[in-house]
Chains A and B, each alone.
Chain A
Amino acid sequence: MEAAQAWHYFIMSIVSIKLLAMVAVGTLAGIYIGAIPGLSVTMAVSILISFTFSWEINPALALMIGIWTGGVYGGSRSSILLNIPGAPAAVATGFDGYPLAKLGLAGHAIGLSTTASVIGGVIGVIALAFAAPIISEYSLKFAPRDYFLLAIMGILLVGSLSGESLAKGVFAGALGVLLSMVGMDNFTGQGRFTFGSVGLMSGIHFVAIMIGLFGVSEALVQLHDISLKAIKQDVSRIFPSWRLLFKHMYLIIKCSFIGVGIGALPGAGGDIAALLAYGHARRSVKKPMRPFGKGAYEGLIAPETANNACIGGAYIPMLTLGIPGDAVTAVIIGALYIHGLKPGPMLMIDTPHLFWFSVGCMLLANVFLLIFGLTGVRIFAKMVEIRKGLLLPIIIIISTVGSYAINNSIYDVYWMLGFGIFGYILKMYGFQVGPVILGVILGPLMEDNYRRAMIDQHNNILGFLSQLVVNPLSLVLTLGIVITIVGQTQFWSWMKRKVWKSKKEGI
């Protein structure tokens, strides 16, 4: 395509007041939809489909892109302020974001997460703009065994999230995997742990588990010292200092790549990208400013960068192949059909404007994200200063509404409350709830792909294991896992010392 033509499509959304307004409205709405747990971007975009049926495709897409960008970011708000992840992609944000709010730095945390999100989002858009064909070919290379390896890589994070005892962490993680198995097995249609109930056939929705374990259980813990005065929030500085940003620029760029890469994979989305990025930060940052889990900036930057970079990544297989990169792109593909377009490998040939138009809208959405994300933070941060006697009931109400909204089902509310109490008990006995959610999110990815890879090898375990090292892509992932595990052992530090010593002696 001619550069002039591409440029024309690219600035379409900026020069048209109508499209500009659509992106702005979308982004703003997205932030709030994302911030309310249970209301998901997927839901919002699918409602928009009927709503925008009679519109032209351009304004409809501009609105959807805005909502999506805002929504992915918005999830971090409630995660930081209330410890309730607004969306699964914001689970990892709370690991260090909520402790920051407890330190009275909620405003600072929101500012940092906004900036990290925008930088990640822009890197994602750049990747989409300039490397889409290459990345989409690479995403097809991922076989079931590779997804299995990715899930293993993610589950290793249990080690970092266990708190006082690794055994308790492993127990919690295994419990999460078990919970994820409840319901109808996709492979055989057999119900597992359903006790004959139709309601349980669809499993326990993981967002209900998430809201209960994080939001409600934390509220219950807070009841212990209800009379304690809320921490005064420091809102003097919202925008993070340039020094802080530059110091972590390398981490931001690495996590953006993780986000783009995972986002482009049709079988993995923002939640997994954020968890992997968090795990990466924990391993690669040797001297965080505060310990991880206690309000490390690195632990906030990593997942926030990755989940927004995911957006650009997820768009890649959608625009180039018509294959959804995650749940939201699946809905957008539906919207394209309804608007008379034909998503697929020919989409960019049939409707050439779509590519650069989408890139333009996304970039614009990130600009609006920066503006909206940094305004009104003071009011939000002050929310945490509300008297606990008021704040805790508000948390319970938000959790209830949110879990009802997932599937419009009262059972999800019961599950949410049940897991809230269960999470409280876990915390009282020194178990962390993080690994449970990790297990719930990664369990199906691990199990399904393991079974697929085994069926592929006619259930021959040796064949399966050899596949893990024969294929170059799988080999890289396997080596990554081996190094991560060995790197945590005594053997590794012994080896390092030995090599260091022999080098010294050599001189």
Chain B
Amino acid sequence: MRKMKKMLLMIVGLFIVSLFSFVQAQDFPTKDLSGIIMWGAGGATDNVVRALTPMVEPHLGKQIVLQNKPGATGAVSTQWVVNQPSDGYTLLYGAENPQLYRVLDISPLDYKDFYPVNITARGVGLIACNVNAPWKTLKDLFDDAKKNPGNIKMGSTGPGGLPYVVGAMMKATHGLTFNAIPFPGEGPGMTAMLGGHVQWMTVGLTAGREHVRAGRIRPLALVADEPVPGLEDIPLIISAYPEYKKYLPWGPFYGVWVKRDTPEPAKKKLVDAFQKGVKDPKFQAFIKDFGAVPMNLYGDGADKFLKHWQSVSCWLLEDAGATKVSPDKFGIPKP
């Protein structure tokens, strides 16, 4: 009898506790949130985050306190967020990089460990060359590269970056090789292209578009499978070479994540708030000016996009010989 009583007490206790936590989750958020940005101040990720967050805060009713924790292409931030409690109060603001951590042996984590609250936007690559370079079209560049393997100077931003992966696509489909000179980011690479220290580079539309408009660089192709509004004059890579279709859409992307095992009510509240924030006309105007393609994906739809991205990128890097561990080992399928 005594035992029964004890048991009953325990059950009631558990019930109360669970009820309490349920109520608490319903009220999420009860305090300010913390947003960890995986790239430094002034980068593309930072810009998107700082434009988006003020749009989301009113829908949450609380502030999101932003902090940049850059380092190891964002692995420092992913590690930090994983070490926080799974209560939905710590957001990871990130870019595409974690999807390459395992094959580059940077960290065992990637977005499989996080729930995509919102994949906000993605960037589009622009293949462009110095105005003094002899090529007028992408075909000219490819023909020249076939004749002079490894000699044409290409600006890069290190393994896994946009220029590197587009270079790897060219190697995989056409066997083209270039003399890739790495720079610590797109800005310095673009500067080198303007000064003629590298001949061509794949740059983000954000920065590239303005230089095209001023006639300081020559656009050869967009790394996209559908036209970008306002840039219909620049040919798509697939109109000259349809075999690139299987890789696309590919490009850097920006979004916000929480730990996978965050309680459902918190996830739902966050997803709703970010959906509303991203739809804000002011933010949409920013994204358009920024030269990015709005996405606003979450949950399963976002996971599908992330998986495709990972499979394309990891296998391209594997074929280019840039991986440390084969994607096979992690069960990442070929695209």
Contacts and interface: CB of A to CB of B under 8 A. Distances in A.
Interface of A: 42-43, 45-47, 49-50, 53-54, 140-144, 183-184, 186-189, 198-199, 201-203, 266-267, 317, 321-324, 327, 330-334, 337-338, 340, 342-347, 407-409, 448, 452, 455-456, 458
Interface in B87-144: 104, 106-107
Interface in B12-66: 41-43, 46-47, 50-51, 53-54, 66
Given A54-B54, A143-B197, A202-B72, A43 B41 contact: yes
Interface in B178-229: 179-184, 187-188, 190-192, 194-195, 197, 206-207, 209-211, 213-214, 216
Which 9 residue pairs across A and B have the least CB separation, nearest first?
A: A344-B210, A202-B71, A46-B41, A201-B72, A345-B214, A331-B42, A140-B195, A330-B42, A334-B47
Nearest to A48: B50
Interface size class of B (residues with CB under 8 A): 35 or more
Given A46-B42, A140-B194, A452-B182, A346 B213 contact: yes
B69 interface: yes
A345 B211 CA distance: 6
B265 interface: no
Contacts of B43: 330, 334
A203 B69 CA distance: 13
Given A144-B197, A323-B187, A344 B211 contact: yes
Contacts of B195: 140-143
Contacts of B285: 340
A49 B49 CA distance: 10
23 contacts: A46-B41, A46-B46, A49-B50, A50-B53, A143-B197, A144-B197, A186-B184, A187-B158, A189-B104, A189-B106, A189-B158, A322-B211, A327-B42, A337-B47, A338-B50, A345-B214, A407-B68, A407-B69, A408-B67, A408-B69, A409-B76, A455-B182, A458-B179
A149 to B, nearest CB: 14
A24 B67 CA distance: 27
Contacts, number: 156
Contacts of A344: 207, 209-211, 213-214
A460 B153 CA distance: 15
B266 interface: no
A46 B66 CA distance: 10
A266 B187 contact: yes
Contacts of B107: 198
Given A333-B42, A337-B290, A344-B214, A50 B54 contact: yes
A331 B257 CA distance: 24
Given A338-B47, A342-B210, A198 B72 contact: yes
A267 B188 contact: yes
Contact of A337 (B158, B181, B197, B206): B206
Contacts of A343: 210
